[in-house]
Chains A and B, each alone.
Chain A
Amino acid sequence: NAGVTQTPKFRILKIGQSMTLQCTQDMNHNYMYWYRQDPGMGLKLIYYSVGAGITDKGEVPNGYNVSRSTTEDFPLRLELAAPSQTSVYFCASSSGTGGDRDQPQHFGDGTRLSIL
């Protein structure tokens, strides 16, 4: 019962490098999300998707890109890494169907990213 899987768990990047944070879920959820968590702060929404082929910006999208070509996968791309992007990144998913309109979000274990 994998749930939401994020890779890698840890990564160190140099300023200006690019990378993709992977996220996959096996629960057939329509909704997927990317958050960042800075020390002592709550989670802030970067991007979200309500289904394959559909993405939208959250609260802090600058410096990131996403795609959603399949229901299962929702990768997050950093094109030009900056020190301000040092954070812990969480992917989450939730069902878009069912009688309970507030299906919980299921979170991955996070990717700890440092930009030096």
Chain B
Amino acid sequence: GDSVTQMEGPVTLSEEAFLTINCTYTATGYPSLFWYVQYPGEGLQLLLKATKADDKGSNKGFEATYRKETTSFHLEKGSVQVSDSAVYFCALRRSGSARQLTFGSGTQLTVLP
């Protein structure tokens, strides 16, 4: 079945540091890939997405590129802020499904001032 594997957390960075959160997936066909963010006490919010190979999703300074050859969708940001502290989830949606998402286990990011 489909699966998403994220790098183990938690991750702690200083403000303005470079961020990478690794995500790899297993799925048949050509899934769409997503990053969601969850702030404390809130539901998940879509951060960015990519629907086909070599697409780059971007939002709020975050970027991720759909790499089919390595089945990866790593999240990056050049300079993190304290306000980026949250849990980040990688997810996929298999083509043809009823928009169901398969999530990774999440990575807790803490940014220190």
A42-B105 in contact given A109-B42, A109-B43 (Cβ < 8 Å): yes
B32, B46, B89, B101: the one contacting A45 at CB < 8 Å is B101
- Contact yes or no, A33 B100, CB < 8 A: yes
Q: Find chain B residues with CB under 8 A from A42 CB.
A: 4, 89, 91, 103-106
Q: Find chain B residues with CB under 8 A from A92 CB.
A: 43-44
Q: How far is the CA of A33 from the CA of B34 in the complex (A)?
A: 17
Question: How many of chain B's residues have a CB under 8 angstroms from any CB in A?
Answer: 22
- Contact yes or no, A94 B99, CB < 8 A: yes
- Contact yes or no, B43 A50, CB < 8 A: no
Q: How far is the CA of A31 from the CA of B45 in the complex (A)?
A: 17
Q: How far is the CA of A25 from the CA of B4 in the complex (A)?
A: 28
Q: How far is the CA of A110 from the CA of B44 in the complex (A)?
A: 9
B42, B99, B104, B105: the one contacting A31 at CB < 8 Å is B99
Which of A33, A94, A96, A105: most chain B CB closer than 10 A?
A105
Give A39-81 interface residues, CB cut-off 8 Å to B: 40-45, 48, 50, 56, 58
B4, B99, B105: the one contacting A105 at CB < 8 Å is B99
Q: How far is the CA of A101 from the CA of B98 in the complex (A)?
A: 10
Distance in Å: Cβ of B90 to nearest Cβ of chain A: 9
B95 (CB) vs chain A CBs: closest residue:
A101
- Contact yes or no, B93 A107, CB < 8 A: no
A4-B43 in contact given A42-B105, A45-B100, A96-B99 (Cβ < 8 Å): yes
A-B contact pairs, 20 of them (CB 8 A): A31-B99, A33-B100, A40-B106, A42-B91, A42-B106, A43-B44, A43-B101, A45-B100, A45-B101, A48-B100, A50-B98, A92-B43, A102-B32, A102-B34, A102-B51, A104-B34, A104-B46, A105-B44, A108-B43, A109-B43
Other than the known A31-B98, A43-B89, A109-B43, what 20 A-B pairs have Cβ atoms closer than 8 Å?
A41-B105, A42-B4, A42-B89, A42-B103, A42-B106, A43-B103, A90-B43, A90-B44, A92-B44, A94-B99, A96-B99, A102-B51, A102-B99, A103-B99, A104-B34, A104-B46, A105-B99, A107-B45, A108-B43, A110-B43
For the complex of A and B, list the 8 residue pairs with the smallest distance between their C-beta atoms, beginning with the closest. Answer: A107-B43, A42-B103, A104-B46, A107-B44, A43-B103, A42-B105, A102-B32, A109-B43
